[in-house]
Amino acid sequence: MRAFIFPGQGSQSVGMGKALADASPHAREVFEEVDDALGQRLFRLMSEGPADELTLTENAQPAIMANAIATLRVLEREGGISLADKADYVAGHSLGEYSALCAAGTFDLATTARLLKLRGRAMQAAVPVGEGAMAALLGADRERADLIAGTAVDQILAEGGETRVCSVANDNDPSQVVISGHRDAVERAVALARELGAKKAMLLPVSAPFHCSLMQDAADAMEDALRDVRLSAPVVPVFANVDAAALADPNAIRFALVQQVTGVVRWRESVLAMADAGVTSFVELGAKVLGTMVKRTVPDATPTSVVTMDDVEGLLKNF
């Protein structure tokens, strides 16, 4: 069995999608449609930068999605395949869940782009710049990360400080967990990490503390936006970040997308659940990020990354 998987924020880079667009009119069509939907020249930003503008959450999210869907479109149109015939499941990491839903037909491309633009703006606006932070804990599993984050909060309270948020945001694989929350609490967790059993901890270059309770305003904004959007049943089930379970009902998907903004990205559990369902092949579209996480979680799995036309042609030979 096979799952198509879609990357999240952090996988963007200047030049993304350009070679694919140069090689395929089908890829160009995707980028043009996204530009039209957003009323901006996003593809020019993806191709030429500047990097700091591309990295802005409201640009990075639709850009990553557009790049992944362009890759899928090339596979489908030039390879003569369909997602429904070649994938048993889809899943995406954080914003990648929107890419997965677009790929599976729950949202059309223009709607997905507009939702991600709104999501990016809402997440950035939820917490003033400088008040939040995120950090990666390496060599730590979910249980260890919970201990580190909780100890940081407890220490601040014991010292007479205010109640702070510091919690697991992304459970990526058995040795990589990301925490998120108030900056002082996350910095305290980084300082405690090695003492409490992590191999390494480092602050991440992000502009907001994603996937924690501080994002509630953004969750409310997405609830309002999704209320007025029509969702179709996906052509294959989608594994949701919030509960690491396969969803096919549009109402359940809508609820999961709202919960995802403040909830933990349960990627490790999602990969394990897909493997338990029989998935042995994981095809990542548009980046080379998730394959390593898959392999650390399920050593017997076969991850494949599809970014270039050569990658597309290589994958088609294996179908």
Active-site annotation, residues = 94, 211
Judged on CB neighbours under 10 Å (0-12, 13-18, 19+), 82 is: exposed
Dist. CA 21–CA 42, nearest whole Å = 13
Kindly write down the DSSP assignment for every residue of the chain, as one continuous string: -EEEEE--TT---TTTTHHHHHH-HHHHHHHHHHHHHHTS-HHHHHHH--HHHHHSHHHHHHHHHHHHHHHHHHHHHHHT--HHHH-SEEEESTTHHHHHHHHTTSS-HHHHHHHHHHHHHHHHHTS-TTSEEEEEEET--HHHHHHHHHHHHHHHHHTTPPP--EEEEEEEETTEEEEEEEHHHHHHHHHHTTTTT-SEEEE---SS--SSGGGHHHHHHHHHHHHTS--PPPSS-EE-TTTS-EE--HHHHHHHHHHHHHS-B-HHHHHHHHHHTT--EEEEES-SSHHHHHHHH-TT-EEEEE-SHHHHHHHHHH-
Dist. CA 203–CA 274, nearest whole Å = 30
Dist. CA 137–CA 139, nearest whole Å = 7
Dist. CA 1–CA 319, nearest whole Å = 12
| Beta-ladder partners of 91 | 5, 239
